Structure 1
């Protein structure tokens, strides 16, 4: 995704971006509720928050400050309003949704129940990511890492994304965090569903189609 330089942000796109981020937060909370693993960066942040004894929101901000420094230095063209809303708010949004969900439903009692949570998580997260990306108002600090690698190396974006996700998943696992079936499903299923929601929902609702990088 690239930041459009030909059209000024509209209210519709800004609202879509914010709603998309909130929906992503709900989706990640659903992944967490499944206890089968989250996307790699969320899983890593959750484990670091546990080890450091701080909230997920604070840990998420701290991690994104580090990633944002790289984005600011090497990829300023990817910075927009969505960069800050996502980077600052995501961890707090996840906690906002997860705590009442966990209190209401408790831990999943069986693998089929866990898989139901994962399926819901994939669909919800993909919808949110589709709205957020289609709004085209900035790249989240973590998402920039793979784009930056693509821009400064000869590797394709897919390979760069696999590398960053795999590295975070490995680090999470080494720190004793949860890396499981949900992590794999997230890695392989989100992309196709995001693409599905782009044409079916996001581009129609936002009345906008971002330029391709």
Structure 2
């Protein structure tokens, strides 16, 4: 811990991760806003807050902040290790951002909500909600007060986490229904099936981004900034490209592959193998760097122990 505080690059890493956490919460809020405007439901906690805030004539941001302050008192008393900068960013800004983005959305877009526009808003909202959640969680700067309840209950009551979380989400969902909060299909997906989407964003975006920020914080330079933007641009392009190709592939399976398509599939597999080799090579390099840093810290600790003697 002392080494972390004395490390001159530790503060830069914390600053960059805090920015990433803030961006993640902003993207999460945009996703929640789209689900709300599409009338497809929201996560149980936000849905309950919208229902209650509407009945007592408070803005969502104000009411959600007050609710989070109430919850965080118990979290601090029971397990303060779960509290961090990311916790404060989430509890303070998420509700207000949903309010701000909703106001902006309704100012810019004027249309009658239909089934198709609701579905479009719901799909885009879920994608952004899970992407923002992935970025916010991967920054690893503390969890939202609501998300800290289930693991604390699991540790205190000796019940599996998934059961505690299920009871928590269902309880808040029922409360949201009673209070007239926006409960819908997206609520069910976010509560029980968001894991695979978040994992997808972790593997394709968040983990690489956080690793890049950590490496940059150790040796910051303008060249690395340019290189980071280049990687981000290529990653985004490849993600969109592969997603589209996968969609086309599913469509083609309905009518079976032709000989030409099989040849194209073979070429695609070869490219995938080539990309996998590159990823493996980079992973080996990163592993070597991690082990090198680990050995350096062990030597520093041994040297510090020797000086104390």
**TM above 0.5, one fold?**
yes
Partner SS, residue 26 of structure 1: helix
The structure number with the bigger radius of gyration is 2
**How large is the RMSD of aligned CA atoms in angstroms?**
1.9
Q: TM-score, normalised by structure 2?
A: 0.63
Q: Compared with structure 1, are the counterparts of its residues 72 and 137 closer, same or farther at alpha carbon in structure 2 (3 Å cutoff)?
A: same
- Equivalent in the alignment of 1:166: 170
> 2:91 — aligned with what?
87
Q: Which residue of 2 aligns with 1:67?
A: 71
**Distance between the aligned counterparts of 1:186 and 1:112, measured in 2?**
20
1:78 and 2:87 matched: no
Between 1:176-185 and 1:43-52, the stretch displaced more is 176-185
Where structure 2 has 5 or more consecutive residues not aligned to the other structure, the ranges are 5-9, 215-309
Q: Does 1:180 align with 2:195?
A: no
Contact 1:35 1:108 in 2 (8 A): no
**Distance verdict in 2 for CA 1:47–1:80, change over 3 Å:** same
Match of 1:138 in 2: 142
| Residue of structure 2 equivalent to 1:117 | 121
Aligned to 2:106: 102
Residue matched to 1:153: 157
Residue 191 to residue 106, structure 1, CA distance change in 2 (3 Å): farther
More helix by share: 2
Give 3-state SS (helix, strand or coil) of 1:75's partner: helix
Matches of 2:2 and 2:23 in 1, distance apart? Answer: 22
Match among 16, 41, 51 for residue 45 of structure 2: 41
Number of equivalenced pairs: 205
Question: Comparing both chains, which one has the higher relative contact order based on Cα–Cα distances under 8 Å and sequence gaps of 6 or more?
Answer: 1
CA contact (8 A) 1:135 1:206 kept: yes
Please give the alpha-carbon distance, in whole angstroms, between the structure 2 residues aligned to 1:124 and 1:6: 37
Comparing 6-15 with 108-117, which one deviates more in the overlay? Answer: 6-15
Moved more, 156-165 or 120-129: 156-165
Give yes or no for contact 1:108–1:114 (8 Å, CA) kept in 2: no
CA drift of 1:49 comes to 0.8
CA shift digits 1:108-158 (9 cap, x unpaired): 532222111111111101111111100000111111111111111222222
Q: Is the 8 A contact 2:40 2:184 kept in 1?
A: yes
